[in-house]
Amino acid sequence: MSNASAPIIANTLSGRVRGVTIDGVDRFLGVPYAAAPVGPRRFELPQPHAPWSGEWDATAFGPTAPYQLRDFPTLDLVPLVGSGWVQGDECLNLNIWTPGVRDAAGLPVMVFIHGGAWVGGAGSAPAQDGTSFARNGVVCVTINYRLGIEGFLPIPGVPTNLGLRDMIAALEWVRGNIAGFGGNPDNVTVFGESAGAMSIADLVVSPLAKGLFRRAILQSGHGSMVRSVRTMRRVVDRIAKVLDVRADAAGFRSASLQAGLDAQDVVQAPTSGLDMRGENGRDPAYGLSKFLPVHGDDVIPVPPLKALAKGAGAEVDLLIGTNAEEMNLYFVPTGVKAKLGRFLAWFLMSRTERGALGILRRYGLGQRGETGGATLTRALTDLVFRWPARAYAQAHQGRTHFYEMDWRSPAMGGELGACHAVDIPFVFNTLATAAGPKGILGPTVPLQALADRIHGIWIDFARDGSAPWPAYDADTRQVYRLAEGRAGPDTDFPIAATWRE
């Protein structure tokens, strides 16, 4: 049973915050890092929060950005993405776990950016509890940021990439305040998973984020999941039509947050028919989300791979990796992997990629006696996650280490395997939150030793940039398999010869 002590006080530039100590870890929850994005500040740049008098109550998680949790009857995803929108104006907040504000000083800082396809998720999801990091000498921070229409829709008259700008504002808050929580503002590692990792890949090359972090960890993320404003305007126009408003700032401000969420669900649905292929004939999200960051502004002036090639982000140490069977999360619970025929596999791929039949044939379509869904799952695992992450690693001109999460979950009869997001409870050392009858880790808690090792690798990297295997380069392509506990040459990818950014 947790033993909560008396409240504990810390100082920020905006005022005093009151947290609580539980089992020797000080936690401060729901601390605002920017002004509430409501009223005249809706669809505006994040602004500094006004100072407050007295003490800000930081003993419980604060509001989240608006999002709706889709029903996923065969898996419990709440530990990974939260339980849905917690309403309240002060959604631009963060959570801090620290070994102690009274005695600690100069500790490494790790700032986590959650995933959720840029339309969901929260920094308060149970699997992202930072207690174990704090017990091991790290100040851990998780953040909320604007999502969907509010954060990633380039509406005419609205600043682009507001969600990324929120992340930058949170990192600026950390730089200015984290010393008061025992952290070293000059030793910050930003880490994230899925859309959070993709966003970090953008921040690594962003002129606006330069100097805000020293290291970056990308879990199932890379820099290829961005779109042009021109392509994203299709989403702007479609949502405006669903909302029956003008496709401009005034029109979207006239719609309620709830109406916007409902419109998002309509447009996000696979049946929306919205073609999101860009100028190169590809949908970089492969149908997983209509909402992506855009390039061509002051946040992401050029696509990240082009920026990396010019040396952007070379000063940032990078730990990057993917899971061996990413797309199982999407295609096993839905039955797509087991039941989809070859024609439908081609049809789905053709909606996002030119030359779909050739790609599927390179991945063995019709040659292994397997379903078209199994081939599609394997091909999209490489196309959406594994190969673009390698491309990002090779383009990064700074020190880079690459890993592969190869532990296979026994959930759903073992078919879930090394799926997307299965790494999160290992990284945070929160295995119990994601185990159970519908847990992504299976019905029972996995062996603790692997979580201890993965958790330790992340902490060591954040502390001084070290990793227990050689750097990744074009010649040796060393990849560390987390479950195996050893490094070796990377595998070959059928898509490598024809994949294009």
pLDDT tens digits, 1-43 = 345 567 899 999 999 999 999 989 999 999 999 999 999 999 9
Side chain identity at 163, as an amino acid letter?
Answer: G
Joined together, the tokens standing for residue 455 give 């958790």
The pair phi, psi for residue 10, each rounded to 5°, is -130, 160
Q: Is 353 a catalytic residue?
A: no
Confidence band for 73, pLDDT divided at 50, 70 and 90: confident
Residue of 194, 199, 289, 409 marked catalytic: 194
User: Averaged over 99-116, what is the pLDDT?
Assistant: 92
| 431 and 445 Cβ atoms separated by less than 8 Å | yes
Q: What is the pLDDT, as a whole number, of residue 501? A: 66
Which pLDDT value is given to residue 70?
79
Over 70: is that where the pLDDT of 238 sits? Answer: yes
Residues whose CB is less than 8 angstroms from the CB of residue 356 and which lie 6 or more positions away in sequence, other chains included: 346, 349, 350
DSSP state for residue 310 in the 8-state scheme: T
Q: What is the pLDDT of residues 313-365, one digit of tens each?
A: 999 999 999 999 999 999 999 999 999 999 999 999 998 888 899 999 999 99
Burial 484-497 (b: 16+ CB within 10 A, else e): eeebeebeeebbee
Distance CA(234)–CA(247), nearest Å, equals: 10
Neighbour count for residue 343 (Cβ, 10 Å):
9
Tokens of 173: 């808050």
Determine whether 455 is an active site residue: no
User: Residues 222, 396, 401, 420: which is the catalytic one?
Assistant: 420
The predicted pLDDT at position 4 comes to 55
- 22-42 exposure pattern, b = at least 16 Cβ within 10 A, e = fewer: eeebbbbbbbbbbbbbeeeeb
Over pLDDT 70: what percentage of the chain? 99
Q: Assign a CATH topology to domain 4-489.
A: Rossmann fold (3.40.50)
Report the pLDDT averaged over residues 424-438.
97
> Between 204 and 370, where is the model more confident?
204
**More confident call, 295 vs 370:** 295
257 has pLDDT over 90: yes
Tens digits of residue pLDDT in 444-490: 988 899 999 999 999 999 999 999 999 999 889 999 999 999 999 99
Residues in the chain: 501
| Between 441 and 369, residue with greater pLDDT | 441
For residues 494 and 499, the model is more confident at 494
Give me the catalytic one of 150, 326, 353, 404. Answer: 326
Q: Percentage of residues in the chain with pLDDT exceeding 90?
A: 89
Is residue 326 among the annotated active site residues? yes
- Residue whose structure tokens are 């969600």: 163
Per residue in 276-305, pLDDT (tens digit) is 999 888 899 999 999 999 999 999 999 999
Q: Is the pLDDT of residue 366 over 90?
A: no
What's the pTM?
A: 0.97
